Amino acid sequence: MLKKITLANTPTPIQKIQFMETDLPVNLYFKRDDLTGSGLSGNKIRKLEYLLQKAISDGITDIITCGGIQSNHCRATALACARLGLEAHLLLAGNEEQEKEGNNFLDILAGGKQRFISEKEYDEKRDSIMEEWKREIEEESDKKALVIPMGASCGLGSFGYSDCFEEILLQEKEMGISFDSIVITVGSGGSLAGLIYGNEKNHGKKEILGISIAASREEAIEGMVLPILEEMKTLDEVRYDIKSANFDVINGYQGLGYAKSTIEELEFIRDFVSQTGIILDPVYTGKATYGLISEILNGRWSEGRNILFVHTGGAFGWTREQIKMLLSI
Ligand SMILES: *Cc1c(COP(=O)(O)O)cnc(C)c1O
């Protein structure tokens, strides 16, 4: 058995969503992984439970990880490190001069050390820069550092979402309901991979769908999900045949790309939040929920199907720029 520490408040609730209810032909539910904690919240926490357990077992003193300037993952890592007495080092893509806000401010509040690189450098060299940073830290004294990849989307971290899948199975029993499809936002792909793994381990009865917010369908499947699933297989005691797994990544809702919003997306988010009381973020869950509702309205699912969307958090990702844009609509 792989071990993990406890960071998340689980099980997270599953709630029926009252949005455009008379118009939606399916039964829509949200699993509230935005409620895994307050600041220490969202989907990254489930992945960090495995990775930080490993860090503690291995005598690690410093964690290095990376993300966009408004990375939810970096904020969650900084707060988790603060809680566990580890030092967090965050490699961020973006401009250091930008006024501090949202996640980027919370990183600092939590004592995280930040380094900034350009988006180009980030895309091309983030892993080698993090390895170099690790060497620097370890040269300094008797420190030992662990590099956690972008989004904590590696094999070990993704077991957090295999566990989430099993949590859903227990909740189905309690609720007397069976979900036909489980849908989740895809950024770096680890959360989707974990759900697929959990489904396969439990005989693959459900359809698992990702909605990509940046990568193309092909990039997401070939470049992210399948390699993570392979890595998960090598870590687990039992082997499953992943090739025939029932999953897909829905294309077409990336909009203007990572962390960029369209007017339609922001309008949708405002309608959704004002009708449900559930906060969506502009980078991940806003785009994915917009995609999900569009797919429902386009007849992807037949009437009466039970659809579960895993809400992965992200509320701190609202920037001044996006707020201004929303308020001007
Ligand atoms: C990181 C993140 C995702 C994407 O999860 P991955 O496992 O990287 O695909 C979705 N929603 C929010 C709010 C996130 O921070």
How far is ligand 1, taken at its centre, from the CA of residue 274, in Å? 23
DSSP bridge partners of 114: 90
Contacts 24+ apart (CB under 8 A), 115-124: 115/89, 115/90, 115/91, 116/69, 116/92, 117/91, 117/92, 117/93, 118/93, 119/93, 119/94, 121/93, 122/66, 122/91, 122/93, 123/93
How far is ligand 1, taken at its centre, from the CA of residue 140, in Å? 33
pLDDT at 188: 98
Burial (CB < 10 A; 0-12, 13-18, 19+), residue 7, is buried
Determine whether the shortest distance from the Cβ of 67 to ligand 1 is under 6 A: no
Check: pTM over 0.95? Answer yes or no: yes
pLDDT at 140: 83
Distance CA 78, CA 291 (A): 31
pLDDT at 138: 97
Determine whether the shortest distance from the Cβ of 282 to ligand 1 is under 6 A: no
Q: Give the chain's mean pLDDT.
A: 96
How many of the other CB atoms lie within 10 Å of CB of 238? 6
Question: Strand 27-32's sheet: what is its strand order?
Answer: 14-16, 27-32, 306-311, 181-186, 207-212, 247-250
Give the position, in ligand 1's atom list, of the atom nearest the Cα of 76: 15
Query: Which of 13-17, 23-27, 282-286 is the least confident region?
Result: 23-27
pLDDT at 238: 74
Cβ–Cβ < 8 Å for 65, 103 = no
Summarised one tens digit per residue, pLDDT across range 78-116 is 999 999 999 999 999 999 999 999 999 999 999 999 999
Distance CA 246, CA 157 (A): 21
User: Residue 22 pLDDT more than 80?
Assistant: no
pLDDT at 1: 79
User: Average of pLDDT values for 43-70?
Assistant: 98
Determine whether the shortest distance from the Cβ of 186 to ligand 1 is under 6 A: yes
User: Average of pLDDT values for 240-252?
Assistant: 89
DSSP helix/strand/coil, 92: strand
CA atoms in the 13 A half-sphere facing the CB of 260: 6
How far is ligand 1, taken at its centre, from the CA of residue 124, in Å? 21
User: Residue 12 pLDDT more than 90?
Assistant: yes
Determine whether the shortest distance from the Cβ of 188 to ligand 1 is under 6 A: yes
pLDDT band per the 50, 70, 90 thresholds, residue 243 = confident
Q: Mention every residue, 6+ apart, whose C-beta is less than 8 A from residue 323.
A: none
pLDDT at 244: 81
User: Average of pLDDT values for 275-283?
Assistant: 97
Give phi and psi for 220, each to the nearest 5: -65, -45
Instruction: Please list the active-site residues.
Output: 71
pLDDT at 235: 95
Give the position, in ligand 1's atom list, of the atom nearest the Cα of 47: 7
Burial 114-138 (b: 16+ CB within 10 A, else e): bebbeeeebeeebeebbeebbeebe
